[in-house]
């Protein structure tokens, strides 16, 4: 395949229905790609690499810097990024940036786009930049649609194996999941949150506390029960399990007063089945399963930085030029 003079790729954000944090320890997680995307465009330039017109900087462009370090031996590049995914808000902005950047570099190297290779490269990018990560967010962003990560390949109705990911002693099996249409709302609080800090906080708890490890295992069980409830189309049960998952995240220490306020308002809204943190927590977003998504969005909007009804995105990474 020829090396193009210019390449562009986009990748979606995500919501996690079940399993954040626990997935870092190899437990199951279930996520959905959403129709908010990050687009990256790249082309050679004569002198130093720039991002959106600024010199490449390890602090401000950490994910791009890492993706280039691992996957680019060519000359300087002009990179432009554009995103409609709220940043540092638990809805997958860094994974989408990593996925789209890795895909652009793959194209500029003259290689065909392979979502699995993109997902693996983007996972390494996230892991090295954050100091720890699971492949959850990068797999969902690369594959699109509903994605289940589990400690081993599962043979279940509506679930098809995608690929496996290894790092150190951990192993995750990624699956495509056919999800029913889910009326979901995301609300984002004003407090931003760094995934690396929340993951490190949970690690301190889990490493030193057997109860913490039990909570992580309980999240894994909730995720698999949630998967079965979704397969039956039992949204009431799914909502109850989301609430239980939220209580576990609260116990792991990643709740915050801002998120608790949103959860409280969401649970009081008419038609709510359940609500939980989505993503790393500390700040960021909640996800609500509700019979009345427009009404929930209207109630949460004045309390949030962003509140939107989720539309799934069945496309993962896309090459756009």
Which of the ranges 20-28, 48-56, 158-166, 222-230 carries the binding residues for ligand MEV, by CB under 6 A?
Answer: 20-28
Residue 248 binds to ligand MEV (criterion: CB under 6 A): no
Residue 288 binds to ligand MEV (criterion: CB under 6 A): no
Q: Distance between CA atoms of 140 and 13, rounded to whole angstroms? A: 8
Q: Distance between CA atoms of 188 and 305, rounded to whole angstroms? A: 6
Looking at beta carbons only, is 274 or 281 nearer to ligand MEV? Answer: 281
CB of 175 to ligand MEV, least distance (A): 16
Residue 272 binds to ligand MEV (criterion: CB under 6 A): no
Active-site residue 214, yes or no? no
Which of the residues 47, 84, 137, 264 is marked catalytic?
137
Hey, what are 256's tokens? 């915050």
Residue 277 binds to ligand MEV (criterion: CB under 6 A): no
DSSP strands (E only) in 169-253: 170-177, 184-188
Between the alpha carbon of residue 311 and those of residues 33, 84, 147, 293, the distances in Å are 9, 14, 15, 11
Mask 87-116, x = binds ligand MEV (CB under 6 A)? ---x--------------------------
Q: Are strands 306-309 and 272-278 parallel, antiparallel or unpaired?
A: unpaired
Binding residues for ligand MEV restricted to 171-230, rule: CB under 6 A = 195, 199
Which of the ranges 97-105, 132-140, 236-244, 266-274 carries the binding residues for ligand MEV, by CB under 6 A?
Answer: 132-140
Looking at beta carbons only, is 77 or 119 nearer to ligand MEV? Answer: 119
Inter-residue contact 43 to 80 (CB < 8 Å):
no
Inter-residue contact 8 to 68 (CB < 8 Å):
no
How far apart are the two ends of the chain, measured CA to CA in Å? 14
Q: Which of 23, 96, 105, 249 is close enough to bind ligand MEV by CB under 6 A?
A: 23
Residue 280 binds to ligand MEV (criterion: CB under 6 A): yes
Residue 21 binds to ligand MEV (criterion: CB under 6 A): yes
Looking at beta carbons only, is 77 or 286 nearer to ligand MEV? Answer: 286
The set of residues, in sequence order, having a beta carbon less than 8 Å from that of 214 and lying 6+ positions away, is: none
Looking at beta carbons only, is 99 or 280 nearer to ligand MEV? Answer: 280
Looking at beta carbons only, is 133 or 215 nearer to ligand MEV? Answer: 133
Q: Nearest CA to 134 among 249, 283, 23?
A: 23
Residue 279 binds to ligand MEV (criterion: CB under 6 A): yes
Sheet containing 272-278: give its strands across. Answer: 272-278, 285-290, 184-188, 306-309
Mask 34-73, x = binds ligand MEV (CB under 6 A)? ----------------------------------------
DSSP strands (E only) in 97-238: 146-150, 159-167, 170-177, 184-188
Q: Which of 28, 32, 118, 133 is close enough to bind ligand MEV by CB under 6 A?
A: 133
The string over 116-148, giving b where at least 16 C-beta atoms fall within 10 Å of a residue's C-beta and e elsewhere, is ebbbbbbbbbbbbbbeebbbbbbbbbbbbbbbb
Q: Which of 9, 17, 24, 299 is close enough to bind ligand MEV by CB under 6 A?
A: 24
Which of the ranges 18-26, 206-214, 224-232, 245-253 carries the binding residues for ligand MEV, by CB under 6 A?
Answer: 18-26
Binding site for ligand MEV (CB under 6 A): 20-21, 23-24, 90, 133-134, 136-137, 195, 199, 279-280
């Amino acid at each position: 395949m020829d090396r193009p003079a210019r390449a562009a790729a986009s990748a979606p954000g995500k919501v996690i229905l079940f399993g954040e944090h626990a997935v870092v320890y190899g437990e199951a997680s279930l996520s959905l790609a959403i129709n908010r995307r990050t687009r990256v465009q790249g082309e050679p330039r004569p002198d130093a690499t720039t991002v959106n017109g600024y010199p490449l900087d390890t602090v401000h462009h950490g994910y791009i810097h890492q993706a280039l370090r691992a996957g680019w031996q060519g000359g300087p590049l002009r990179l432009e990024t554009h995103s409609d995914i709220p940043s540092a808000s638990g809805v997958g902005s860094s994974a989408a940036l990593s996925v789209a950047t890795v895909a652009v570099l793959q194209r500029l190297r003259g290689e065909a786009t392979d979502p699995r290779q993109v997902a693996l490269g983007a996972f390494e990018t996230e892991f090295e930049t954050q100091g720890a990560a699971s492949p959850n967010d990068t797999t969902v962003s690369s594959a699109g649609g509903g994605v289940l990560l589990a400690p081993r390949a599962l043979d279940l109705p509506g679930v098809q194996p995608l690929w496996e990911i290894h790092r150190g002693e951990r192993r995750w099996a990624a699956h495509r999941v056919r999800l029913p249409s889910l009326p979901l709302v995301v609300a984002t609080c004003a407090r931003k949150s760094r995934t690396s800090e929340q993951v490190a906080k949970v690690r301190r708890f889990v490493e030193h506390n057997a109860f913490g490890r039990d909570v992580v295992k309980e999240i894994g069980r909730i995720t698999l029960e949630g998967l079965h409830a979704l397969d039956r189309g039992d949204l009431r049960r799914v909502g109850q399990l989301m609430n239980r998952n939220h209580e576990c995240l609260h116990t792991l220490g990643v709740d915050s007063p801002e998120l608790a306020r949103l959860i409280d308002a969401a649970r009081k809204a008419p038609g709510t089945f359940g609500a939980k943190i989505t993503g790393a927590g500390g700040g960021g977003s909640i996800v609500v399963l509700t019979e009345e998504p427009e009404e929930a969005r209207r109630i949460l909007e004045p309390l949030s930085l962003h509140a939107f009804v989720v539309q799934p995105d069945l496309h993962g990474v896309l090459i756009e030029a």
